[in-house]
Amino acid sequence: MPTSLTVGDNDFISILGPSGCGKSTLLRIVGGLETASEGRILLDGAPVVGPGADRGFVFQSYTLFPWLTVQQNIAFGLREKGVPEAQRMPIARDWAARVGLSGFVDHFPKQLSGGMQQRTAIARALANDPKILLLDEPFGALDNQTRALMQEMLLGIWERERKTVLFVTHDIEEAIFVGSRVVVMSARPGRIKADIPVDLPHPRPYTIKTTPEFVALKERLVEEIRAEVLAADH
């Protein structure tokens, strides 16, 4: 049975689904890191045939270059694009400031906490000015308090920059809080089971998680995911 997902400009789409359903694989195909066995992915009408600067990727595991400083890591993609150092370093410092790392631009990854490393990775992806930002459980390895702060930071960046974002997570509250839509994938073979708009206001404070609208949406998604987890076990 074919499946289809249309992503509009400035959409922030959270992707949920049971383990092994293909969430990360979908992201890697969009990013050009894997090839689809059938079907196709189109970006602005053109097929995706490999990685490109028009897509920025942030993974769950820490992927900074250990021999580069925060500023140099953020500027790495710009260097690969051939942007002169005199131009790329101010851009890198600006993005370091936007993710709260102004005081750490000369630090190396080993000197940073996990949350700070992921802030750097997000800044590196965005400094390249991609059309789409792809995030594969970027906060999955962080403690709950740091994770909450990172969610607020990412949402704040999206509210200002309005990038198109695909965000894979297994956390239902996280998916609702950051997303403008929540897509639920079925058990393997993964299909798009539901595409649910998140009609919550912006700016979106963290306290919105206690509102009746948020709780009702969470309950609906819990049932959607529970049904797919049970299906995956049979």
Q: CATH 3.40.50.300 occupies which residues in the chain?
A: 1-54+132-234
Q: How far apart are CA 56 and CA 121, in angstroms?
A: 10
| Residue 142 C-beta-side C-alpha neighbours within 13 Å | 25
The per-residue pLDDT for range 109-137, each reduced to its tens digit, is 999 999 999 999 999 999 999 999 999 99
Q: For residue 6, how many other CB atoms are within 10 A of its CB?
A: 7
Q: For residue 78, how many other CB atoms are within 10 A of its CB?
A: 22
Q: How far apart are CA 135 and CA 32, in angstroms?
A: 14
Reported pTM:
0.93
Through-space distance between the first and last CA atoms of the chain, rounded to whole angstroms: 19
The per-residue pLDDT for range 164-191, each reduced to its tens digit, is 999 999 999 999 999 999 999 988 878 8
Q: For the domain bounded by 1-54+132-234, which CATH number is listed?
A: 3.40.50.300
- Structural Rg of the chain based on CA atoms: 18
Per-residue pLDDT in tens (0 to 9) along the chain, 234 residues:
557 889 999 999 999 998 888 899 999 999 999 998 888 899 988 999 899 889 999 988 878 999 999 999 999 999 989 999 999 999 999 999 999 999 999 999 999 999 999 999 999 999 999 999 999 999 998 999 999 999 999 999 999 999 999 999 999 999 999 999 999 998 887 889 999 999 999 999 999 999 999 999 999 999 999 988 887 776
Which residues are 196's β-sheet partners?
Answer: 182
